Structure 1
Amino acid sequence: MHRHEISAIAHSGHPIAAPLHDDSVQALLDRALPHDEATLLDLGCGSGTWMMRAQHARPGLRAVGVDNNADGITAARRAAADAGLADRTEFHAQDATEFTSPHLYDVVVSVGATHAFGGLLPTLRAAGSHLSPGGSVLVGEGFWEREPGQAVLDAGFAADEYADLATTVDRVVADGWIPVHGHVSTLQEWDDYEWSWTGDLSRWALDHPEHPDAGQALDAAAAHRNAWLHGYRGTLGFVTLLLRRTP
């Protein structure tokens, strides 16, 4: 079972593919978007949820999404068409690191996709290359709420994979960005996300016992749940930053 298939099933019941509640997503978008006629680019858009959430409240907003998961892009195009947004939405099934465009955008989004660029700062540099003067980047990244112990490392993380929140923000500022807003995901947001991730994948496997991948899906859900509950719960944090360039 491909990781994209596991991810699609695991995220099917959560409003966003990150530990954020609906109201947190809406508050971030309200602060990020300067006006109804804005343009938005999502690098690593997944199913296009951020884009479509932004468009529902802004009838003039045009959005472009890029993701290397072709099946996910197909589903996103279908969802945009069903929502009546196809004429204002454009999707590209390709590696976000290789995306080029003749246009610049008022807002560039990359939440939970920094791994595709090799980390937070490379993601910001890529996002900045697509940003209009005076525009904003909305980026989501992990950080250590506390020093990771052996259980976290055993769950597959490296101690230097993230920094603490203050160091994370300091690095962003040193790279030429000014935070104008931010949201630190709460433990409740994390728990809701993880229960949804593991529960939806488990439910799919139990509802499709005849599927050849059902056993693998159950194993993946169990491994993820174990890593979360016995490893990184309360240690791995998530921050979504709204950034503008230093003058």
Structure 2
Amino acid sequence: MDRQTISRLAHARHPIAAPLSDGSVAALLDRALAADEGRALDLGCGRAAWLLRALSARPRWRATGVDLDAAALTLARESAEALGVQRRIDLHHLDAREFTDRRPFELVLNIGATHVFGGLLPALAAAREHLAPGGRVLVGEGFWEREPSAAALAALGAAPGEYADLATTVDRVAADGWTPVTGHVSSPREWDDYEFSWTGTLAEWALDHPEHPDAGAARAAADLHRAEWLHGYRGTLGFVTLLLRCD
């Protein structure tokens, strides 16, 4: 079972593919969608959950999503039709690094997908290329809540320098010419809800599909992820979502 399929199954019952609650997502979008109308771009949209929520909240906005997971984009199209916003969203099966558009966007999102560009600052550089004057970027990134242990690094497959602490992360963003206008640090409860949903949803899919050739792999992935979280990075890896404007 490939990683895209595992992720898609595991996120099926969580609001978005990141450790944020419904209320946190709604508050961030309400601040990000400051104008009555505009265009939003999500670079690494997955099932386009952020974009679909934006379109539901703002009937005069349009959206574009880019992702390499064709099955996730199919689910996004189905959700858009169910919400009645399919005419206001364009979805592209494409590497986000290759996406181009002649018109700029008032809002660019990259939540938990900065790795597509090689890290936080390269992802912000890519977002800047698509941003309209006075536009905003909503970016979600990991950070170290505390010094990572060997177990945490092993569980995440990360190096100590892959993330910084929260203060250093925000300082780097500011030094790169961005002004944080609001932000949200995911709470321990949001993290626990997210991880239990991720592992539990994937494991339950395996239980409900015992004859599926990937059932064993799905259950093994859920069990491994749960162990890596509980015995590795729980309380060590944080997540911050920042709303930014250019200087």
Superposition TM-score, scaled by structure 2 size: 0.98
Match of 1:47 in 2: 47
Q: Is 1:72 aligned to 2:72, yes or no?
A: yes
Listed as ranges, the matches of 1:192-231 within 5 Å are 192-231=193-232
1:79 Cα deviation after fit: 1.2
Match of 2:175 in 1: 174
1:54 Cα deviation after fit: 0.8
Match of 2:30 in 1: 30
1:239 Cα deviation after fit: 0.1
Whole-Å separation in 2 of the counterparts to 1:168 and 1:157: 16
DSSP-derived class of the 2:42 partner: strand
> Quick one: which amino acid aligns to residue 38 of structure 2?
A
1:9 Cα deviation after fit: 0.5
Whole-Å separation in 1 of the counterparts to 2:194 and 2:150: 23
1:39 Cα deviation after fit: 1.1
Listed as ranges, the matches of 1:93-108 within 5 Å are 93-108=93-108
Match of 2:238 in 1: 237
1:153 Cα deviation after fit: 1.8
Whole-Å separation in 2 of the counterparts to 1:177 and 1:151: 34
Whole-Å separation in 2 of the counterparts to 1:212 and 1:174: 50
Q: CA RMSD in A?
A: 0.7
Match of 2:186 in 1: 185
Whole-Å separation in 2 of the counterparts to 1:153 and 1:120: 19
| Gap regions ≥5 residues in structure 2 | none
Listed as ranges, the matches of 1:3-152 within 5 Å are 3-152=3-152
Superposition TM-score, scaled by structure 1 size: 0.98
> Quick one: which amino acid aligns to residue 162 of structure 2?
E
Whole-Å separation in 2 of the counterparts to 1:105 and 1:154: 38
- The one-character-per-residue Cα deviations of 1:195-247 (angstroms, maximum 9, x if unpaired) are 0000000000011111111110011001100110000000000000000011x
| Gap regions ≥5 residues in structure 1 | none
Whole-Å separation in 2 of the counterparts to 1:36 and 1:195: 37
1:36 Cα deviation after fit: 2.4
Instruction: State the percentage of identical aligned residues.
Output: 64
1:57 Cα deviation after fit: 1.2
Whole-Å separation in 2 of the counterparts to 1:75 and 1:14: 14
Whole-Å separation in 1 of the counterparts to 2:83 and 2:102: 27
Whole-Å separation in 1 of the counterparts to 2:209 and 2:229: 25
Whole-Å separation in 1 of the counterparts to 2:171 and 2:194: 27
Whole-Å separation in 2 of the counterparts to 1:154 and 1:61: 42
- The one-character-per-residue Cα deviations of 1:81-133 (angstroms, maximum 9, x if unpaired) are 12110111110010001100011010000101001110000000000100000
Q: Which runs of 4+ in 1 moved over 3 A?
A: none
Residues paired across the two proteins, number? 246
Whole-Å separation in 2 of the counterparts to 1:6 and 1:81: 24
